[in-house]
Amino acid sequence: MSEQGPQQVNRLQGPAPEDRPRPSGRRNSQGIRIDPEVEAEPVPRRTVISALVENEPGVLAKASGLVSRRQFNIESLTVGTTTNPETSRITLVIEEPEPGIRQVEKQLEKLLPVISVQELGENAIQRELVIVKVHGDEPDKVQAVTEMYDGTVLDAGPKTISIEITGDENKIDDAIDAFQQFGIRELARTGQTAIARGDVWTTDVEEERYERMHESWQTTTNND
């Protein structure tokens, strides 16, 4: 127990802050040790993350809630079932510095219904769909622009024309710009969906799952 002394209470001993040595290093705001030679803050990067998830109720709410409450900078989120009716693919487009991207992956992976998560590289196949509804005063010109963007007219009336365009994000942005001249009344965009290019599997468990499913199909067919 402490000695009872005559000194003022609440005075701990030792050199004051300004009398103490300081280490020379530093970290940046993301907790990364800074190499004094190359002092660079990681810059945000736009990327696509694909998550294969169990198709259970609430899984989308869990994923989107996670992304919003952790303040990840999310550009779009889409979801749909896969070849296996028990699973869905969630595609997220995010813009985050490198540590943020890794966190999105790891936090998603922690959700119990999530089977596998993968960041897709630059060359992933990415597509988005937009429906634009423009004023129908100049149908010929609208038709020309639609053809330029490989679009499809879905509905044409005396007052409005609705067109569907599919493509990567830049193409969609450009198309919307081009339709601007007719006056866009409304539009609806789906957000990006994506899949790995070539014979690469989109997330790392998909090959094994595919083979397992394929086998069970074959056994059921053989039994019939």
Partner 1 sequence: MSEQPPATFDREATDGAETAGSTPVTTGATSVIRALEGAGVETCFGVQGGAIMPVYDALYDSSIRHVTMAHEQGAAHAADAYGIVSGDPGVCLATSGPGATNLVTGLADASMDSDPVIALTGQVPTAFVGNDAFQETDTTGLTAPITKTNYFATDSDSVGDTVGEAFAVSGTGRPGPTVVDLPKDVTNGQTERQPGAPRTPSTYDPQTEADEAAVERAARTLERAEKPVILAGGGVIKGDASDALRDFATEYGIPVVTTMPALGAFPEDHELAMEMAGMHGTGYANMAITHCDVMLAVGCRFDDRLTGGVETFAPDAEILHADIDPAEVSKNIEADVALIGDAGTVLEQLDSEMDRTPDIPEWQEQCQTWKAEYPMDYAAPEDRPIRPEFVVEALDEATPEDAIVTTGVGQHQMWACQYWTYRHPRTWVSSHGLGTMGYGLPAAIGAKVAEPDKQVVCFEGDGSFLMTCQELAVAVRENLDITVAVLNNAAVGMVRQWQDAFFEGRHSASQYPWVPAFDKLAEAFGAQGFAVHEYDEVADTVEAALAYDGPSVIDFHIDPGANVYPMVPSGGDNGQFALSEDQL
- Minimum CB distance to partner 1 smaller for 26 or for 45: 26
Stretch that binds partner 1, among 16-24, 128-136, 149-157, 193-201 (CB under 8 A): 16-24
Binding status of residue 114 toward partner 1 by CB under 8 A: yes
DSSP 179-219: HGGG-EEEEEE---EEE-STT--SSTTHHHHHHHHHHHHHH
- Minimum CB distance to partner 1 smaller for 62 or for 127: 62
Give the strands of the sheet with 45-54, arranged side by side: 74-81, 87-96, 45-54, 114-120
Query: Whole-number minimum distance, CB 90 to partner 1, in Å?
Result: 14
Please count the other Cβ atoms lying within 10 Å of the Cβ belonging to residue 2: 4
Binding status of residue 31 toward partner 1 by CB under 8 A: yes
- Minimum CB distance to partner 1 smaller for 144 or for 205: 205
Binding status of residue 99 toward partner 1 by CB under 8 A: yes
Query: Whole-number minimum distance, CB 89 to partner 1, in Å?
Result: 15
Q: How far apart are CA 15 and CA 223, in angstroms?
A: 83
Binding status of residue 7 toward partner 1 by CB under 8 A: yes
Binding status of residue 157 toward partner 1 by CB under 8 A: no
Binding status of residue 115 toward partner 1 by CB under 8 A: yes
Q: How far apart are CA 52 and CA 115, in angstroms?
A: 5
Q: How far apart are CA 45 and CA 102, in angstroms?
A: 12
